[in-house]
Amino acid sequence: MCSLDASLETILEDYAAGHCEAIDLWLGHAEGFLQKHGVAALKERFERHGIAPVAASFQGGLLTSQGEARLEHWKHFEARLPVLRDLGIPVLVIAGDAFGPLSPQDLGRLSMSLAEAAKRAADAGVKLALEFDARASFPNNIQSAVALVEEVGSPALGICLDWFHYTVGPSKPLDLGLLSRDNLAHVQLSDIADVPREMASDADRILPGEGASPPDDLLRRLAEIGYQGAVAVELHNPALWRVPPRQFGEIAMTALRKLLGVAGT
């Protein structure tokens, strides 16, 4: 996601040169490559460059869509699951994209959709990570996301915590205590440029630890629960997409290691 202006082949080669050994794979990049070369070729690229695809982002449209749109989103989801299985990608991020007024029927559909998606993902050996969106109607915070995941009650469903959505939404520091080793499936980090949180947009995302919202509280919680999943940098910032992937990979890994206290070259 951080290098959308480059091809996937360039990203893998340059990130590897920048000592990046794992990625959160942007599915738009992957599917463009797969249409031309196939799953075996992409798997070979990962192995050649020594990069592990630890998660994939993202699948939208599953929660409250209806009619033809719903059929299309679910068809897309079904087609992706065996690809993720064959590539050995353990986590798929699911967008919490329920926007606008929601009726009781919509809330019921949302819960049932997550349960069905988790069942199908489990059959493919993939875990879903529900990413709450601060701009959504539901869930838009940690507390609601945790309650929804607990309601579904599937080991194939957890939470993706995007620090940007935590920061700009209604989540509170106390809510971090709801995160556990069992329910937290993926973490995406970014910081926010010097703008009011109420006005922050994806284009205001900057490298974690370099802005007004350092994730110190979250990192303490990850240590407390013994979190074993991935921590990724995710920047929806078109200005940063123009940075050459090798340069970006180096600075992003440096930022992560600094935050996590991990030594490395």
| pLDDT 10s digits, 53-112 | 999 999 999 999 999 999 999 999 999 999 999 999 999 999 999 998 999 999 999 999
What is the distance of C-alpha 186 from the center of its chain? 7
What percent of the chain is predicted at pLDDT more than 90? 87
Cis, peptide link before residue 104, omega less than 30° from 0:
no
Is the model's pLDDT at 263 over the cut of 60? no
Instruction: Report the pLDDT averaged over residues 10-24.
Output: 94
pLDDT of residue 212: 85
Closest to 212 in 3D by CA, of 225, 221, 200: 200
pLDDT of residue 19: 87
What DSSP character marks residue 242? T
What DSSP character marks residue 232? E
Instruction: Report the pLDDT averaged over residues 186-202.
Output: 91
Q: Is residue 92 part of a domain?
A: yes
Instruction: Report the pLDDT averaged over residues 169-191.
Output: 97
pTM: 0.95
What DSSP character marks residue 6? S
Q: Is residue 150 part of a domain?
A: yes
CA pair distance 127, 132, nearest whole angstrom: 16
Q: Is residue 80 part of a domain?
A: yes
H/E stretch holding 114 reads helix 104-123
Instruction: Tell me if residue 100 falls in helix, strand or coil.
Output: coil
Write phi, then psi, for 75 (nearest 5 degrees).
-60, -45
Q: Which domain holds residue 20?
A: 8-260
Is the model's pLDDT at 11 over the cut of 50? yes
* Total structural domains within the chain: 1
Q: Report the CATH number that the domain containing residue 15 is assigned in CATH.
A: 3.20.20.150
Instruction: Report the pLDDT averaged over residues 222-240.
Output: 93
Q: Is residue 2 part of a domain?
A: no
Q: Is residue 265 part of a domain?
A: no
Position with higher pLDDT, 198 vs 10 = 10
pLDDT level of residue 262 (50, 70, 90 thresholds): low
Q: Count CA within 13 A, CB hemisphere, residue 115.
A: 11
Q: Is residue 1 part of a domain?
A: no
Q: Is residue 40 part of a domain?
A: yes
Instruction: Report the pLDDT averaged over residues 106-119.
Output: 96
Query: Which pairing describes strands 52-59 and 91-95: parallel, antiparallel, or unpaired?
Result: parallel
Token pair belonging to 180 = 């556990």
Q: What is the mean pLDDT of the chain?
A: 94
Long-range pairs, 239-245, Cβ under 8 A, ≥24: 239/203, 240/2, 240/206, 241/2, 241/3, 241/4, 241/5, 242/5, 243/3, 244/6, 244/14, 245/3, 245/6, 245/10, 245/11, 245/14, 245/15, 245/18
pLDDT of residue 127: 98
Is the model's pLDDT at 265 over the cut of 60? no
Instruction: Report the pLDDT averaged over residues 209-236.
Output: 94
Cis, peptide link before residue 58, omega less than 30° from 0:
yes
Token pair belonging to 186 = 């993926």
- The C-alpha torsion from 130 through 138 and 116 to 82, rounded to 10°, is -30
